[in-house]
Amino acid sequence: MGEINWRDNWPSALEEAQKIDRRILLELYMDGCPHCAKLHAETHSDDKVAETVNANYVPVRLEGRQNMDIAKKFNVTAAPTTLVFSGDGKELHRFSGYHPPQEYLDELAKAS
């Protein structure tokens, strides 16, 4: 079972991504959201998803209500919402809701 090495701080993740020239994967979720829980339990734990995310992104996972400033900054209105940014913080792609592992990987590939 895979495990994504989530960060829990947007500014430090942005700084890390710039240093190592890597994209950022930001997921905003809400406690108590069944789609968020399913995405985390089924998709994020998939070996191929975890391997892909850890190898290619600085992953950040934040609870939306506790990070309303970030949710508002990026105009996130649904949970879960996954956003992909370039290392300099430019948004490249976003997708919302639950996606099984292969669909999740397909969505990440759209940011290329």
Task: Encode the chain (112 residues) as per-residue pLDDT tens digits.
Answer: 789 999 999 999 999 999 999 999 999 999 999 999 999 999 999 999 999 999 999 999 999 999 999 999 999 999 999 999 998 889 999 999 999 999 999 999 998 7
Whether 54 is covered by a domain: the verdict is yes
CB atoms within 10 A of CB 102: 12
- What CATH number does the domain containing 43 carry? 3.40.30.10
Per the domain annotation, does 39 fall within a domain?
yes
Q: What is the pTM of this model?
A: 0.94
Residue 103 lies in a domain: yes
CA atoms within 13 A on the CB side of 11: 2
> 11 — phi, psi (to 5°)?
-60, -45
Q: Look at residue 5 and tell me if it is in a domain.
A: no
Q: Identify whether 81 is part of a domain.
A: yes
Total number of domains in the chain: 1
Domain extent at residue 51: 10-109
Would residue 2 count as lying in a domain? no
